[in-house]
């Protein structure tokens, strides 16, 4: 698909970074990622190269070791990485948006100086722990508790569906610190070992998945975990964690909108190549106007949504407009449209789509999942309705 990306990269540095990303995705990720996905294996070498190339630092300002490109280039990266692998994108975004953003916007100078350069280079992976077994859409009802004991914090409770947790050594976790519904604080936990293995009472267990299998997705249990100052502590103001989580998700939701377009456009491109090649009734399927009109319609929808994502990403970077309703609007519209297009486009492959030679059906399921994580479509409507 033609996306008119030259307009998006408005600096030489950004253009160079995107050219490097394109080469990395084409030459290193594309040839091997399907195998990691099949084996449900974390692609350590690819993640390490992404770190060396600075891709985890695209949204971190230069003073903290990143490239300072912001949301717009972040959206472009998201779309491009997800085009190759939705799972690789989740690994990237859990680190680069969900972990980086709360530290950047709520952390103190010491936390920023210590953690952001490590996250920028992928020396440490990050994870974002909000969801719990009983607190999904109603994130404010989370039960994990934090109590102050001397200079330490003691955490009890459990988190669910936490991307990267098995390989992370920086975690942002949200816990109840008062009796009011939104009396929640954010905590940053830093560990010397991936998966927080050196932190007593903290256990991480991977959940097997049908899709996004190269990225891990974990239950994280806190059993009287004592977080001393050398291992982290409060992130931002006491009892202000819910707002930190929600503001983080504003950025995350724009990124997921871009991810879903990346995945859907991969199905679109593969299906387009297929219909131009596949012949039935004596001519390529593409020659039927019905097929051409479908592709034209999907192209129009994907392209216009992409241009909205870029506009909204710019607005987030400018910091002038309230971003929450825009992030919800674009997440709702992009993920639902990507899923709708994916579900229709996979049918172009006919029976071949169910064979293991083809991964379009799994990609279609990924677009379905994108309507759920980082806030379901219904929760985006709830946010939008509040603004109406």
Residues noted as catalytic: 374
Closest approach, Cβ 66 to ligand CAA, in A, equals 21
- Residue 271 has φ and ψ, to the nearest 5°, of -70, -40
Least separation in angstroms between CB 207 and ligand CAA: 11
How far apart are alpha carbons 214 and 242 in whole angstroms?
A: 30
Q: Which of 33, 78, 139, 220 binds ligand CAA (CB under 6 A)?
A: 139
* The binder of ligand CAA chosen from 71, 85, 97, 163 (CB under 6 A): 163
For ligand CAA, give the closer residue by CB, 156 or 377: 377
- Provide DSSP, 15-65: HHHHHHHHHHIIIIIHHHHHHHHHHT---HHHHHHHHHTTGGGTTS-GGGT
State in Å, rounded, how far the first CA of the chain is from the last one.
35
Which part of the chain contacts ligand CAA (CB under 6 A), choosing from 5-13, 58-66, 113-121, 370-378? Answer: 370-378
- Asked if 161 interacts with ligand CAA (CB under 6 A), we say yes
Which one of 110-118, 126-134, 296-304, 359-367 is the stretch in contact with ligand CAA (CB under 6 A)?
A: 126-134
**Residue 131 binding ligand CAA, by CB under 6 A:** yes
When the beta carbons of 5 and 183 are compared against ligand CAA, the nearer one is: 183
Q: Is 373 in the site for ligand CAA (CB under 6 A)?
A: yes
- How many residues touch ligand CAA under the rule CB under 6 A: the total is 24
**Closest alpha carbon to 50 in 16, 88, 107:** 88
* CA–CA gap between residue 41 and residue 213 (Å, rounded): 7
- Pick one of 130, 305, 332, 341: the residue that binds ligand CAA (CB under 6 A): 130
The sign of the dihedral angle between the CA atoms of 245, 172, 131, 256 is: positive
Q: Quick one: which segment of 60-68, 115-123, 189-197, 368-376 binds ligand CAA (CB under 6 A)?
A: 368-376
Strand-pair category, 152-163 with 125-129: unpaired
**Between 49 and 324, whose beta carbon lies closer to ligand CAA?**
324
**120 is a site residue for ligand CAA (CB under 6 A):** no
Residue (of 251, 248, 242) closest to 141 by Cα position: 242
Q: Which stretch binds ligand CAA (CB under 6 A): 109-117, 133-141, 270-278, 357-365?
A: 133-141
| By the rule CB under 6 A, 368 interacts with ligand CAA | no
CA 253 to chain centre: 8
> Which one among 53, 324, 358, 381 touches ligand CAA, defined by CB under 6 A?
324
Whats the size of the chain, residue-wise?
388
Cβ-contact 209, 162 below 8 angstroms: no
Nearer to ligand CAA (CB atom), residue 9 or residue 91: 91
Span near ligand CAA by CB under 6 A; candidates 5-13, 21-29, 34-42, 132-140: 132-140
Among 90, 91, 104, 186, the residue binding ligand CAA under the rule CB under 6 A is 90
Determine if 375 is a binding residue for ligand CAA (CB under 6 A).
yes
Task: Name the residue among 187, 181, 125 with its Cα closest to residue 156.
Answer: 187
Q: For ligand CAA, which is the closer residue by CB, 149 or 382?
A: 382
What backbone torsions phi and psi does residue 187 show, to the nearest 5 degrees?
-130, 145
User: Residue written as tokens 């996306």?
Assistant: 3
Name which of 128, 134, 188 is nearest 158 in CA terms.
Answer: 134
Between 65 and 171, CB nearer to ligand CAA: 171
State which residue, 235 or 247, has the beta carbon closest to ligand CAA.
247
Identify the residue among 114, 182, 209, 344 touching ligand CAA (CB under 6 A). 182
The H-or-E segment that residue 148 falls in is: strand 145-149
What's the per-residue H, E or C state across 296-355? Answer: HHHHHHHHHHHHHHHHHHHHHHHCCCCCHHHHHHHHHHHHHHHHHHHHHHHHHHHHHHHC
Instruction: Report the distance separating Cα 96 and Cα 45, nearest Å.
Output: 18
Q: Which of residues 224-263 bind ligand CAA (CB under 6 A)?
A: 242-243, 246-247, 249-250
The least CB distance from residue 98 to ligand CAA, in Å, is 6
Q: Which residues bind ligand CAA (CB under 6 A)?
A: 90, 128, 130-131, 137-140, 161, 163, 182, 242-243, 246-247, 249-250, 324, 373-375, 379, 382-383
């Amino acid at each position: 698909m033609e996306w008119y990306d030259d307009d998006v990269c408005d600096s030489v540095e950004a253009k160079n970074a995107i050219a490097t990303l394109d080469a990395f995705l084409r030459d290193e990720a594309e040839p091997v990622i399907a195998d990691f996905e099949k084996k449900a294996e974390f692609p350590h070498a690819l993640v390490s190269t992404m770190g060396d190339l600075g891709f985890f630092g695209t949204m971190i300002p230069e003073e903290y070791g990143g490239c300072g490109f912001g949301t717009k280039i972040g959206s472009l990266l998201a779309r491009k990485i997800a085009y190759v692998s939705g799972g690789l994108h989740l690994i990237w975004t859990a680190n680069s948006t969900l972990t980086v953003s709360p530290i950047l916007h709520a952390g103190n100078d010491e936390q920023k100086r210590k953690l952001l350069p490590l996250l920028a280079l992928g020396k440490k992976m990050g994870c974002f722990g909000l969801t719990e077994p009983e607190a999904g859409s109603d994130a404010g009802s989370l039960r994990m508790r934090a109590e102050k004991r001397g200079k330490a914090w003691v955490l009890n409770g459990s988190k669910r569906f936490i991307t990267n947790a098995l390989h992370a050594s920086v975690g942002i976790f949200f816990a109840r610190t008062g009796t009011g519904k939104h009396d929640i604080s954010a905590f940053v936990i830093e560990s010397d070992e991936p998966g927080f293995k050196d932190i007593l009472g903290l256990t991480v267990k991977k959940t097997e998945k049908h899709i996004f299998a190269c990225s891990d997705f974990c239950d994280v249990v806190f059993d009287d975990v004592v977080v001393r100052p050398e291992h982290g502590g409060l992130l931002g103001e006491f009892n202000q964690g819910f707002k930190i989580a929600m503001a983080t998700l504003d950025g995350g939701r724009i990124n997921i909108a871009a991810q879903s377009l990346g995945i859907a456009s991969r199905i679109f491109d593969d299906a387009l190549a297929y219909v131009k090649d596949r012949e039935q009734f004596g001519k390529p399927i593409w020659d039927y106007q019905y097929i051409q009109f479908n592709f034209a319609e999907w192209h129009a929808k994907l392209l216009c949504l992409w241009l909205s994502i870029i506009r909204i990403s710019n607005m987030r970077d400018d910091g002038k407009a309230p971003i929450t309703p825009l992030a919800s609007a674009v997440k709702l519209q992009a993920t639902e449209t990507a899923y709708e297009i994916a579900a229709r486009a996979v049918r172009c492959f006919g029976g071949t789509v169910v064979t293991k030679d083809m991964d379009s059906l799994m990609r279609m399921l990924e677009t379905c999942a994108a309507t759920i994580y980082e806030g379901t479509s219904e929760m985006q409507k709830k946010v939008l309705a509040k603004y109406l």
